[in-house]
């Protein structure tokens, strides 16, 4: 994973602490940039994350210096992280540049 994805998962982990123990086990299967966001798909991990929800939300925003605001969530499949979805909250879309990002949650 890249620094951006790891930072987002750690920020999500503030609200779902069990996720923090599995971040280092996640390996990227593929990435897809959609123009309105992105998907990062993961290979399955061995043990599920103990959580009572299947979608782990960021509960905040990601700010990019050029005025773009993003949000994110981690989709789970029976406790196994499936993919990280990053969504653009501004009308112009997002081309995938995350330099200088900050996360407020």
pLDDT at 53 > cutoff 90 = no
The pLDDT > 90 percentage for the chain reads 86
pLDDT mean over 6-19 = 96
Bridge partners, residue 41, by sequence: 30, 83
pLDDT at 51 > cutoff 90 = no
Q: Residue 7: which domain range?
A: 3-104
- Round to whole Å and give the CA distance between 13 and 24: 13
pLDDT at 38 > cutoff 90 = yes
pLDDT mean over 56-82 = 95
Q: Would you state the pLDDT for residue 92? A: 86
Chain Cα centroid distance, residue 75? 9
Split into its structural domains, the chain has a count of 1
Chain Cα centroid distance, residue 55? 11
SS3 26: coil
Chain Cα centroid distance, residue 19? 12
């Amino acid at each position: 994973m890249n620094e951006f994805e790891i930072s987002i998962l750690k920020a999500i982990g503030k609200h779902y602490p069990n996720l923090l123990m599995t971040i280092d086990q996640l390996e990227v299967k593929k990435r897809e940039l959609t123009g309105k966001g992105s998907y990062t798909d993961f290979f399955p991990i061995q043990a599920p994350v103990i959580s009572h929800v299947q979608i782990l939300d960021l509960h905040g925003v990601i700010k990019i210096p050029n005025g773009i605001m993003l949000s994110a969530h981690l989709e789970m499949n029976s406790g196994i992280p499936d993919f990280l979805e990053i969504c653009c909250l501004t009308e112009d879309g997002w081309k995938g540049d995350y330099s200088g990002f900050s996360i407020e949650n």
